[in-house]
Chain A
Amino acid sequence: MSYFEFLSVNSTRFIDGTLITAMQTVLAATLAIALALTTGLMRLAPNALIRGIATVYIEIFRGTSLLVQLYWIFFVLPLFGITLEKFTAGFVAVGMNLGAYGAELVRGAILSVPRGQWEAALALNMSPAKRMWRIILPQSLVIMLPPWGNLLIELLKGTALVSLISVADLMFEAKQINATTFLSAQAFGTALVVYYVMARFIITPFMRWLERATARKLGKA
């Protein structure tokens, strides 16, 4: 069977899988960004308890493997009365894992906004919330966007693990095709190329565009 025959027979499976992977990526990214912003800010809170909660979350999710977290959320959490459907468990695990890495980026970026900006906002009598929201966060956004690009690629790669709890993503479909056709190079090779295209020709250009757009908005370009 030529490669083109192989593709035409299996294209629907690859496309379905790619769509699920894209959905997992978008949902996990949304969760990761929300968690990263919340816990990144919590890490800078004056209250030790709030700081502590964020630290525990970040250290647990950065200190263990995504696969361990995924299995724990999917197999162990139901014992505590929280049963997540596999699709949900998948993007929740990926989002929580990458959110912990993102939190450190958020924290680092906020701390690297020049001291004078904080002082100026204070001198203008801004409330702490307003100072953070209007002055510090927009500037830290420019600083943290480049590493976020890498993190989103890590996140896309992370979603491949959800296939291990039988979410029918690209990786899962590749395994299924491999099992029925025994054409491993074609099945896994095609999936590798699709992941590469998503990372290199969708996520990376999008992040570059976002970097330019935010820099322009802040009058830095």
Chain B
Amino acid sequence: MFDWRWDFTAEILPRLIIATGNTLLAAGLGYAIAIVLGLILALAQRTPYRALTMTVREAVEFIRSTPLVLQIFFVFYVGPQFGVRLSPWVAGMIAIGLHYAAYLSEVYRGGLESVPKGQWEAATSLNLSTARTYFRIVIPQALPPSLAGMGNYLVGIFKDTPMLSVIGVAELMHTANAIGSESYRFLEPYTLVGVIFLMISLPSAALIRTFEAWVRRKLGMS
């Protein structure tokens, strides 16, 4: 029943470790897109233009309530229908970046709303432009309360990267599938993928909590 083979494990481990690099790269790139795009989505919802605000709000809701794996398929296959061919990496990064941008925009929104109104009034009375107020006054104060949510989604995006395997991004899950279909052995590759995920996500979750506490302490917030 239980036939774990260590020699096979040793044989496939290097491939899985290389693929882990791709997984981390995908998570990092996707997160970088999400951080920037999420801020744009959050700020767009605070503009006085009602049409823009409502459209962005609905779009964020739409992205948040539909499955990421379906969005990945959508981005990957819809392009060619209109003559735009995207590589798996590009399509995957767009889909996962956009998905998490929608989540992060909600985190930022909460953070931005937590900045007291008096800060805005003070900035206005000092004759600061809106852009300057945001970047010098409001966003720095909105960041600390957003950190917990941002950290959770960093771990979240990492755990969602296996979905990129469905369009052929050569990350961990894709490699494990390939090993499985070559060797007809699924026990070792899938179990190792699980172990690798645990070994990365548990310490990083702890690390993020420590970092968050450190930032709060630095800013005298707790």
Which residue numbers of A lie inside 8 Å of B, CB to CB?
A: 59-60, 63-69, 71-72, 75-76, 79-81, 153, 156-161, 163-164, 171, 174-175, 178, 182-185, 188-189, 191-192, 195-196, 199-200
Contact = CB atoms under 8 A, between A and B. Distances in A.
A79 B190 CA distance: 12
B125 interface: no
Interface of B: 1-3, 61-62, 64-71, 73-74, 77-78, 80-82, 159-163, 165-166, 173, 176-177, 180, 186-187, 190-191, 193-194, 197-198, 201-202, 205
A159 B176 CA distance: 22
B80 A184 contact: yes
B194 A199 contact: no
Given A171-B69, A200-B61, A80 B74 contact: no
A202 to B, nearest CB: 11
Contacts of B191: 72, 76
Contact of B70 (A71, A185, A195): A195
Contacts, number: 121
B77 A188 contact: yes
A123 B70 CA distance: 54
Contact of A68 (B67, B180, B190): B190
Nearest to B76: A184
Given A79-B3, A184-B73, A185-B78, 20 more contacts: A63-B198, A64-B197, A65-B160, A71-B177, A75-B180, A79-B187, A80-B1, A81-B1, A157-B68, A161-B163, A171-B70, A175-B73, A184-B80, A185-B74, A188-B70, A189-B78, A192-B70, A192-B74, A195-B66, A196-B65
Contacts of B166: 164
B74 A68 contact: no
B186 A199 contact: no
Contact of A192 (B61, B66, B165): B66
Interface class of chain B by DSSP? helix
Nearest to B195: A64
B180 A64 contact: no
Contact of B202 (A63, A66, A171, A174): A63
B1 A157 contact: no
The 8 residue pairs across chains A and B that have the minimum distance between CB atoms: A160-B67, A199-B65, A184-B77, A64-B197, A188-B74, A157-B67, A75-B186, A67-B162
B198 A64 contact: yes
A185 B81 contact: yes
A79 B197 CA distance: 22
Contacts of B80: 184
Contacts of A189: 74, 78
Contact of A63 (B160, B177, B197): B197
12 contacts: A63-B201, A68-B162, A68-B190, A79-B2, A80-B2, A157-B68, A159-B67, A161-B69, A184-B78, A185-B78, A189-B78, A196-B62
A78 to B, nearest CB: 9
A54 B190 CA distance: 23
Contacts of A75: 180, 186, 190
A176 B67 CA distance: 17
A59 to B, nearest CB: 6
Nearest to B67: A160
